[in-house]
Amino acid sequence: MKDVNVVALCVFVFFFLAVTVMGFLAAKWRKAENENSLDEWGLGGRSFGTWVTWFLLGGDLYTAYTFVAVPAAIYAAGAAGFFAVPYTILVYPLIFTFLPRLWSVSHKHGYVTTSDFVRGRFGSKGLSLAVAVTGILATMPYIALQLVGIQAVLDVMGVGGGEDTHWFIKDLPLLIAFGVLAAYTYSSGLRAPALIAFVKDTLIYIVIAVAIIYIPIKLGGFGEIFASADEKFTTAKAGGLVPGEAGQWTYATLALGSALALFMYPHSITATLSSKSREVIRRNTTILPLYSLMLGLLALLGFMAIAAGIKVQNGQLAIPQLFEDMFPAWFAGVAFAAIGIGALVPAAIMSIAAANLFTRNIYKDFIKPEATPEQETKVSKLVSLLVKVGALAFVLTMDKTVAINFQLLGGIWILQTFPALVGGLFTRWFHRWALLAGWAVGMLYGTIAAYNVSTPKQKHFGGSSAEIPGIGEIGYIGLTAFVLNVVVTVVLTFVLKAVKAPEGVDETSPSDYTADAGDTGVRPLPKVGVGH
């Protein structure tokens, strides 16, 4: 175990305790008359305006994946890790077309989850169940990635120990984070991460602004930084400042597949549905790209770590170690707090979103159809705790040295819900049974292909790229599975329509997809307590 960086640890603990208190106090923020409903606990009363939604979505989407995993991938493999930058640029024009439609129909019918919409659109509880199970499964490794980010920060500060430390001591930071996160999520629901997101995003912007100016000055400028990175990759004959020809298919498919998958995740939709109007969503799709600029700057930290001579066996420690080496101890503590809080916010939203899926689309649809809103809320609170336990299982059983694979593995699964969700928002042409069959094929192929990827440290699920059938190039498994999913769905839809298979009842109407708050027939916003 390395020496503890006392100053940095004290600063980190100060911010950690501050946001924990904020998390508990958030239960009283914008408090509504009726708290015992998923609209309140799980969606914050569907009452967030443009700025709260912007901070919430930013806190939700830009996670430990952004602050730790992406720079670590660039530190280890070079510019191939930059696929995360174009994918966050590709995603915003895409979501501008469908998120407002999803918000409108969900607000009109009181949908809390994507599975609620799929069930209402296609009249299929089976398809709704498939979407719900996929959402829960895909969320767990993503939560695990947040906990890995917290552990990386604490390891660099000297808390938690190294690989030779007893497992309980080594993983104690995860258990502490689990307990804190579970407690205030249970108490305050979505209001907790919404409030904490203001602190998280402010800290991140301060840290990246300082890092992108201060560190290059100390290292001799960006020319020296890129030269050092190029020398490393040329000598090692791995990675590089630009992806090699053999890696271009991997780069492109990772970028496109990740872009298609991002807003399929339950936590992305939960943050979206918490906003108070359709216009709030449209505004956010135009201003959220500011975070992509931040991501591009953060990614450069991977090259800076190379130029600074950072040597770590676990690549996830590269950026925290860079901060400790380059910054004064007190500001290193601020940077560590930004990463730690940047992991807590999305982890809270993810657990809430997964819990809502279980409650609405498994518990209520199949176990207790007569469940009251109070019972739904109670079940969601309990399940939000269990989801975090599932995430811990991923952390404790998988190789944490390439943590970006946690997110990419979840992407393989969640991408298979795209045809039902996005397709359903624009057309009823797809047959519900065809969508279910396409989902099953995509899930089966994606899971088996990922299972067969091995590394020296992990026999199975060691990566997210494999040979694309029929092409021979290496590409993202999730996108290959998605293409198979769409082909099966289209072919079977033609067949099922030809034999006139029953299509199910669509409870939505065309006008539902353009409805806004205040329109006739749209559910009114919950009344918020005086003074909030």
Residues contacting residue 512 through CB under 8 Å, at least 6 positions apart: 104, 105, 108, 109
Please write the tens of the pLDDT for every residue from 243-293: 667 778 888 999 999 989 988 898 888 888 888 888 888 888 887 777 777
pLDDT of residue 531: 33
Q: Is the pLDDT of residue 86 over 90?
A: no
pLDDT of residue 305: 92
What mean pLDDT comes out for the span 24-49?
A: 69
Of 57-71, 160-174, 435-449, highest mean pLDDT:
435-449
- Tell the residue number behind the tokens 């995993």, with chain if given: 69
What mean pLDDT comes out for the span 487-492?
A: 97
pLDDT of residue 520: 64
Length of the chain: 532
Q: Is the pLDDT of residue 525 over 60?
A: no
Q: What percent of the chain has pLDDT over 70?
A: 87
How far apart CA 290 and CA 35 sit, in angstroms, is: 34
Residue type, 30: R
Please give the mean pLDDT across all residues of the chain: 83
How far apart CA 334 and CA 341 sit, in angstroms, is: 10
pLDDT-derived band at 532 (thresholds 50, 70, 90) equals: very low
How far apart CA 1 and CA 365 sit, in angstroms, is: 50
At 465, is the secondary structure helix, strand, or coil?
A: strand
Q: Is the pLDDT of residue 232 over 60?
A: yes
Burial class (CB in 10 A: 0-12, 13-18, 19+), 460: exposed
From the list 106, 110, 111, 42, the residue with the least C-alpha distance to 378 is 42
Please write the tens of the pLDDT for every residue from 333-354: 999 988 888 888 888 888 888 8
Residue type, 4: V
Q: Which of 35-39, 142-146, 420-424 has the lowest mean pLDDT?
A: 35-39
- Per the model's pLDDT, the better-predicted residue between 408 and 432 turns out to be 432
- DSSP string across 251-288: HHHHHHHHHHHHTTSHHHHHHHHTBS-HHHHHHHHHHT
Q: Are 359 and 380 in contact (CB under 8 A)?
A: yes
Q: Which of 290-304, 317-331, 363-377 has the lowest mean pLDDT?
A: 290-304
Domains along the sequence of the chain with CATH: 6-404 (1.20.1730.10)
DSSP tag of 20:
H
What mean pLDDT comes out for the span 146-168?
A: 71
- DSSP string across 89-130: HHHHHHHHHHHHHHHHHHHHHT--SHHHHHHHHH--HHHHHH
What mean pLDDT comes out for the span 446-466?
A: 83
Axis crossing angle, helix 84-109 with helix 248-262, rounded to the nearest 10? 20
Please write the tens of the pLDDT for every residue from 195-218: 888 888 888 888 888 998 999 999
Q: Is the pLDDT of residue 237 over 70?
A: no
